Structures are given as C-alpha cells and as structure tokens.
Amino acid sequence: MRVVDLFCGAGGLSLGLRRVGFNVVQAYDCWDQAVAVYRKNVGPHAWQVDLRNIFKMGPMLASMAPDLVVGGPPCQDFSPAGDRVEGERAEMTKCFAMLVCIAKPSWIVMENVPQASSSKSWSEARRMLFRAGYGLTEAKLNAAYYGVPQTRKRLFVVGRLGEQDGFLNSALASARTSEPMTIRSMLRSDDPDDQSLEEAEAFFTRPFYTGRGVRSLDEPAPAVIRTTREPPRPGYLASPHPDDPVPAAKAALLTQRQVARIQGFPSNWDWADATSRDIDQMIANAIPAPIAEAIGRVVLARELGASIPEIHGRFGSWLLRSKGFSKAAVRNAKSRVNRARRLLLGRTFSNGAVELAVLEATEAFAKLSTATRSDLRKALCLYREWQNEPKGRRVGAAKADAKCEAAAA
C-alpha cells in the first residue's frame, strides 16, 4: 500500500508503517529541522512545504494516488499543556481533511491529543470526511498498551471509504496488550545509561502542574513532553508529590537518547545538526513508531480480508427480546453475520443495499445453496436493523434498511 505522510515530523509514524511493510512514497512537514532528520533516517522523499497551500498540495497528492494518507496535525491548540484556544494550528486539522478529500485514498489515519475530539476544528473536519464517503473509527488509545513504555493517550482516527463508522473498533481493541509496557522492559544490559537507571530503580520526569514527578522502573513513563528530562526544580524538591516512590533527588534523570527510545526511536537515530532543544521538541512531537506499527498491522489485516469486526454482545440480547429468537437461533444468526463478513473480506458498508449487492457479486457466495444465501442476507439485515435502532440514526438509514430487507426477501 502506497502511503503519504502529512505533518511527518522526525519520522516516527513513517518508521512504524514501514516496519509493517507499507510503502511510504512521500512525506511533508513545514519544519526544516524535522524534514532534515526524516531524510537522514527514513528516506529522501520528505519535503518542507506549507500544507495550508491546498491548491498546490491537493493536485500533487491526487496525482500520486496513495492508498493511505496519514498524519498528526499540530495539537498545541487542543493540548492541556497549551492555551486551549483554537487558532491557526487547529485549522491544520481541517487542512488534513481537505487534502484527504482531494486525494481520495482508500484509507486514512490521523493522530491528535484526546481533547481534539471535542473541538470545533475536528467537528468540521469530520463532516468533510463523512461527506466524502469515509467511515471513521475514532479511538482514544493508550500507547503503553501498544508497545510504548509511556502512558501517552492519543486520539487516533482511522477511516476507510464506504465503511460504517466504528468499523475498526474491535480490531484496535484486540491489538491491545493485557499489561502496559514498563520502562524496565525497555532497558538494555549493555547500555551504561540504562545500567545507571537500573541502579537508581526510579527516574524523574518533569510533571504537568501538580502531577507526580518520580516513577519506578516497573511502570510506564508519563507522556513525553519537551521538558521531560529536565531536573526537578527547587520548588518540587521542597514539596514533592506524596506518591513518589523515592525522593526526587535520588531518582535518575533520563538522557535524551533514553527519552527518544521511550518515544520509539532506535538508539542509532541520527538527529542531524539540530540543537538539543529542537531535538527534545521533535521527540515530544513524534508519534511513537510502535503504536504506528500496531495500527498499521490492524489496517493491513483488514485490507487483506484477514480480520472481521466482532459482533457486539447486545445484538444477541436484542434478538432474544425484540425478535423472539431462541438462544440457538441467536447463535446461528451471529455465525451467519460472521460468515457473511468473511465473504466480504471484513467490509462493513455504510449502505445496506450496497453491502448486499457486493455480497451477491462475491464468487464464493454464488456457490452457496439458495437457503444458505437467504440466511446470510437475513442475518446481515437483522444486524443492520439492530445497529440503526438507537436514536440519532444517519439520514437515509431507514431507506437503506428498506432496500436491504427487500433485497433479502
């Protein structure tokens, strides 16, 4: 799959996707230092551009015909560390959506802080993407459960043309590990800095406001920020957090290379000629490669038809309550929905009539008996009826249901 990375920064997202096997063909960012680092480590296909120039960038992206457009638009206007005032940087979220609508890739992945989900900018961007035909999965993920040793909570939006909203929720949940990744699991016995950290058994990171500054090695680090590796200030030493496992003065300080590794960058990542402050900023801005890799695997599995969405448990309860199904009939209905989804290679179409039409055109479906085909159609229609029952149904859903039921009759 051909990928274009917008707001690519130092290359964390591209690095993770390349590890899965995606072909990142172009990357763009406005910061020359970040582009220089990207080119040193990922490849020469990164360019310094102003992505607000829609008239220039739109046709350029469309001509590349990418399968996937990804990006992490600036988050400072949404972040709790900022002023929470939507300004020029928040507008870049809408720029991302505009460029996607012009390029029309099959897939999109966008990352931002969780607070962006309730912003006016994202609301307008979401509306654009919906009108362009994208079904969206909006998930707030904790990177510690996706191979990153920090509790970095971020909003990830994964979209695909023609899908229902929420189509990838169960797959993203299944990719989550049962336990968070800890700092100890990141340490290497042959690294002198890691040896010092292990001897201290705890480390200090600059907290947000009144947050805890000292962590043990057996927990993740807090979300990396530009000042993460700064030493404790006199005020903190005089009034430490009550939950600190050891005094801040006895905790180890993280090196820049360790903070970069916490963000998923390899030890040999070349930071070019950037200043130390700029490197800290690039590290803090990055999307950690391991979580990008995990999401990339989920996307690729669905693209190849190797995964299907899980059926929500309440569907069975609804069949029992509203349709009078027996427990055996509920099991059969769920099995038929899953079978139909496998024939559809995991697709969940936004339009029920289109879903049935695609199913009918599937070669494997055509080989089934008449009774089996009828059972699969009816199961899909029941599932869609259950999905559309709550208030707030999409405009036109009732008409799509009627066509779905008529096609299954």
Reported as type and span, the H/E element at residue 173 is: helix 169-174
Instruction: List pLDDT tens digits, range 203-246.
Output: 999 997 778 999 999 999 999 999 999 999 999 999 999 999 99
Reported as type and span, the H/E element at residue 108 is: strand 107-112
Arithmetic mean of pLDDT, 345-369: 96
- Residues classed as catalytic: 75
**Of 183, 253, 272, which Cα lies nearest the Cα of 213?**
253
Report the percent of the chain where pLDDT is more than 70: 91
Range list of β-strands (E), 114-262: 134-142, 150-151, 153-161, 202-204, 214-216, 221-222, 252-253
Instruction: List pLDDT tens digits, range 90-149.
Output: 788 999 999 999 999 999 999 999 988 888 889 999 999 999 999 999 999 999 999 999
Q: How many helices (H) and strands (E) does the chain have?
A: 17, 12
For residue 110, list its beta bridge partners: 71, 157
CA-CA distance, 1 to 182, in Å (whole number)? 32
Residue ranges and CATH numbers for the domains of the chain are 2-181+287-303 (3.40.50.150), 184-262 (no CATH), 314-408 (no CATH)
CA-CA distance, 378 to 358, in Å (whole number)? 15
Q: Residue 58 class from Cβ within 10 Å (0-12 exposed, 13-18 middle, 19+ buried)?
A: middle
